[in-house]
Amino acid sequence: MNIEQFWVFHCGYSKIPRWMIVEGGGRQEIKLPFLAALAVHPEHGPILIDAPFGTEGPSNVGEFLGGVLRKIGVVFKDEWAVIPRIERLGFRASEVNHVLMTHMHFDHTGGMKSLGHASFHINRDEWVAATSMSAFAARTKGYVVEDYRALTSRVEKLDLSGATIEKGVDVFGDGSIEAVPLPGHSAGHTGWRIRLADREIFYVGDAAFSVGHITQNQELGIFPKIAADSKKIAGQTLEKLRWWHRDHPDVEILTSHDVDLGQACMNGPLGVHVDAG
């Protein structure tokens, strides 16, 4: 079965110098987006990938830290929250019954509480990592447990222990979406391979911040390095993605923070694929 539509939108951005994302990238200020995606399944309807920021924006980390983030460059508007974005695409939040999480860092989970009726598909290893610490310890690792603590009964924990970058787990049993383990940025970081009528999309989340990290062998800047749970494993995953791309050059790779993709959807959701039929 094929996904009928695939949209990408941002829920805000951070103004930072390019060298922080791409090694040797220079001092040019870029808008690092907080991206999410929406895939329309013929049977399951709209399926969200990640839920960055609800109505409180970056203040999901707390009012004080949220204020600090805004002062150092994070830009957010109410209309950029997950629910208004979904509604702009013509869907009601109540129609979103499945959310696929790349990982559980705060810039991907802020909108989860707004979709408490949905099933959240999360790598089991990621769920363990995100819930096994105190709230304070979790924040030092980039997790805000208040975003998802009350949603435990809605979590579908995926066992990806036998999955590889070549063969992931078929989430719905129809070949439309595969969960692929991409650890390193976080313990159970997951990519999502999407089958369309004419091609495939590989949404790799934060396994690379820029598509160029994979397709052009750009080196990671300081920010993706310090944000990684394991720099060693993150580097190994990036190398796997590079050789996978060389073997599958026709598969479109998307990341959660790609600057060019963020710019393309700065004025509204971008239709990466819309089936006219």
Under the banding of pLDDT at 50, 70 and 90, the label for residue 59 is confident
Domain ranges for the chain: 5-274
The dihedrals phi and psi of 42, each to the nearest 5 degrees, come to -65, -25
User: Which of the four pLDDT bands, split at 50, 70 and 90, describes residue 147?
Assistant: very high
The predicted-structure confidence for 159-218, as pLDDT tens digits, reads as follows 999 999 999 999 999 999 999 999 999 999 999 999 999 999 999 999 999 999 999 999
Residue 224 has pLDDT above 90, yes or no: yes
Q: What percent of the chain has pLDDT over 90?
A: 90
Q: Model confidence at 274, in pLDDT bands (50, 70, 90)?
A: confident
**What pLDDT, on a 0 to 100 scale, did the predictor assign at position 275?**
72
Q: What's the pLDDT band for 277 if we cut at 50, 70, 90?
A: low
pLDDT at 67 over 80: no
Residue-level pLDDT at 273:
79
CA atoms within 13 Å, Cβ hemisphere of 35: 30
Q: Mean pLDDT across the stretch 53-62?
A: 86
Q: What is the mean predicted confidence (pLDDT) over 133-158?
A: 95
pLDDT at 276: 55
Domain spanning 5-274 has what CATH number?
A: 3.60.15.10
The per-residue pLDDT for 176 is: 98
